[in-house]
Structure 1
Amino acid sequence: MQRLFCLIALACLSVSPCALELATLEPARSPQAYQRLSEQVRQYDHQAMTAELESSGRTEPLPAPPTSKFGFDPDAPVDFFTTAEGQRIAKIVLSYQTPSGGWSKRTDMSVETRQPGQAYGVESHYIPTFDNGATTTQIWLLAKAHQATDEPAYADAVARAVRLITLAQYPGGGWPQNFPLTGGYHDYITYNDEVMGKLLKVLHAAARRQPPLDFLPEPLVTQARQSFDRGIQAVLDTQVIVDGTPTIWGAQHHPQTLAPLNARKFEPLALATAESAELVEFLMELDEPSTELKQAIVAAHNWFATNRIDDYTWEQTSRGHNELFKKDGAGPIWARFCEIGSNRPVFGDRDGSVHYDVSEISQERRDGYAWFTGKPKEVLKDYPAWSAKHLPRPDNTN
């Protein structure tokens, strides 16, 4: 009971009791230590919710409002948060931060402030998560809110979230989809939905104190720098090599062996073009890439250039179904997944079957998944300027 009173008192002061304990934790350096760390973080969140339920007299959390994204504009400018509406949104987002420092997905954070004893998200097994832009999106929003208002609570929330990212990093340098761990493919190192890329962008800005993350304390900046460097090494280590030649990345990789893996039944073991393209675009923004990183970018660019699909378009018909059409001058596009080794486009269905022709999978999956992408076009477009800046030119003076 004494612990309960302490938890309630801290909550009234807008200080997370679990945050105080989490501040003493360190990133894990072994798989066994990482599992223990994950369980500690899980227990912190669980204990805080238990205390809220007891203080509010409830036995089950109140449901959180659902939505397809987050309910707010993630690209709102800094000035928006000087307005009453902007401050209202920021306070709601702040209220949905878990004690461990993260946020959920598919939860509407524009309706009203979360109440004590209310769930942190609509998906009880995926809180907190980095999937679908969760946690990283809220970090950027609250950082802009702090930039606009200088409100300490926003700065503290961002710092706790960045701290969670550093704790969630595997000893091998990658990140799972959810942390604490939730099992299954969610525990794999995840490039899917740009998880790795979005986390690296946050850490890169934090490590350099770039606005709007220029307020972070020096110890956390150091942690972010170390975490970013380990993350970049994981990027190098997970680039798929075929017959001695680096290609691109899988959507998921094993957290220890780093081998590419399949995820859901309709997401086969394959090279993932959309996520790899987003990643390479970020890597090309780095000012001083190492020799190894430059080699990785060159290899990925060459793979994209070789495996483009021209004169085809993937679009919705008048009947509302997605189909691949022959169309002169269209493209380039890329299959979302390509078979490792042959580079042939592959398409999965809910029964776990894998096909080389998108028309062979069920209509539901054809219409419910992005099987083709144009994202690597940006890599091809930006590569010449990047290579002129970073790659040595042939010496033609002799």
Structure 2
Amino acid sequence: MHLSLKLALALVALCQLPLALAAAPANSAAPAQAAVDAQWQTYMARSDELRKLDDNFIRTEIKRLGLKKPLQPAYTKEFGFEPNQPTPWFKSAEGKATMAAILSLQTPSGGWSKRTDMTKARQPGMAFGSEKGYIPTFDNGATSTQMTLLAKAYSATGDKAYQDAFARGLQLILNAQYPNGGWPQNYPLVGDYHNYITYNDSLMVNLMFLLRDIAKGEGDYAFVSPAQRQLAQQSLDQAIQCALNTQVLVNGKATVWGAQHDPLTLMPAKARAYEMASLTSAESVWMVEFFMGLENPSAEVIESVHAAADWYDATKITGKVWVRGDADLKDDPNAPPMWSRFYELGSNKPIFGDRDGAIHYEVGKVSKERREGYAWYATSPNKILKHYAKWAKKYPRAQ
């Protein structure tokens, strides 16, 4: 996708994206391009409005209470609760208290944060999340997890408060979706790599599964209105097309995906210093799994899955194991195939990063801290390849 120079400059300022990737010739403003530009301008303006909504809400509260800065909610690695709860739990005292806390921690813009204890209700003057840059976010299952809980809670109790909060959350997801169908890590936008279309931590797929369930309107989602179901299906269709468009082509051949993609060029993009622009084996697993779960997949989706399976077969590492922290792979003839987490664009060579931004071709060159603190190899593709063997018989490659 190409944007006019004027819009590209605006996006650079708001998204902090590299100008070299964003800029397009100034004479590209054809009627069709003008419509695309208008979509992006509307998107950016809406993000800005929702950011101000969240900020003004907190600012007003702390001023009224005479505070110098917001109070901080309790930090926790997950959310402080088990999402997979039986129906009776939502009617229990514990369930009602947890759901009340979740309702209180929904931002004015409609989403939720991560790494915040959501068993404790938000108090006046308190921030909506423990990590400032992730309020709200879709990272680490945030917002999609709360939406799932709200659907179950409403199905179990019929409490309209859950239905209303669900509707607000759905609207945020729809608002956050880029015109090209992808989602940023955080929304309203906060800049830097957080604005990239994010496959990391199954972010895109979590939202796509949620939208699929909403669009079906079955089970816990039977309460969803026809209009909401239609909007969810339209959003899902856009997301599927985005996933197809971001599947990386190397020498004209489809491969897999990056952990994150630039929202303008759709190419894999660098995030943290040790997370390079690359092909990623682990994050791509979830996208392939989602595609194989689609009913009546299109010819494009079918080819996408076959191409990804080909790539996994070509890049697998056999007869080796890696223990986190080790500088070398160890021989093990009985080990299942494994894959490097990241592969160099174009060459398919395994690559490894470090906190100083250096890129290495051997895991042993990475600092001990990063070898111990990051998963540089994955075996998760084995699961989807087992599924693929059955799926491929039902959906053979077009001749």
Normalised to the residue count of structure 2, the TM-score between the two structures is: 0.87
1:63 is the counterpart of 2:63: no
> How far off its partner does 1:324 sit?
3.3
The 2-side partners of 1:190 and 1:199 are apart by 11
- Output one character per residue of 1:251-297: Cα deviation in whole Å (capped at 9) or x when no partner: 11111111111111100111011110011111111111111111101
Tell me the equivalent position of 1:99. 108
Q: Which moves more between the two structures, 234-243 or 211-220?
A: 211-220
Compare 210-219 and 374-383 and name the one that shifted more.
210-219
SS of structure 2 residue aligned to 1:93: helix
Aligned match of 1:247:
255
2:156 aligned counterpart, secondary structure: helix
* Corresponding residue number in structure 1 for 2:345: 340
Match of 1:376 in 2: 381
**Paired residue type of 1:296:** S
Counterpart selection for 2:185 from 162, 177, 186: 177
**Identity in percent:** 47
Equivalent residues in 2 for 1:65-214 (5 A)? 65-110=74-119, 112-214=120-222
The aligned amino acid for 2:350 is: P
Give the structure 2 partner of residue 4 of structure 1: none
Moved more, 273-282 or 67-76: 67-76
C-alpha contact (below 8 Å) 2:306/2:397 kept by paired residues: no
5+ long unaligned stretches in structure 1: 1-26
Alignment partners' CA distance in 2, 1:33 and 1:58: 35
Structure 1 residues 63-86: Cα deviation after superposition (integer angstroms, max 9, x where no partner): 110011111112223332222212
Tell me the SS of whatever aligns to 2:329. Answer: strand
- Cα drift, residue 220 of structure 1: 1.9
AA of the residue aligned to 2:182: G
List per-residue Cα deviations over 1:121-162 (Å, max 9, x = no partner).
111122100111111111112211222211111111112111
CA contact (8 A) 2:302 2:397 kept: no
CA contact (8 A) 2:215 2:232 kept: yes
Residue of structure 1 equivalent to 2:227:
219
Give aligned pairs, total.
364
2:320 matches 1:312 = yes
| 1:329 matches 2:334 | yes
C-alpha spacing 1:121/1:28, structure 2 compared with 1 (3 Å): farther
| TM-score, structure 1 as length reference | 0.87
1:29 shift after superposition? 5.6
**Contact 2:90/2:156, CA 8 A, preserved across alignment:** yes
CA distance in 2, matches of 1:225, 1:48: 32
Give yes or no for contact 1:281–1:378 (8 Å, CA) kept in 2. Answer: no
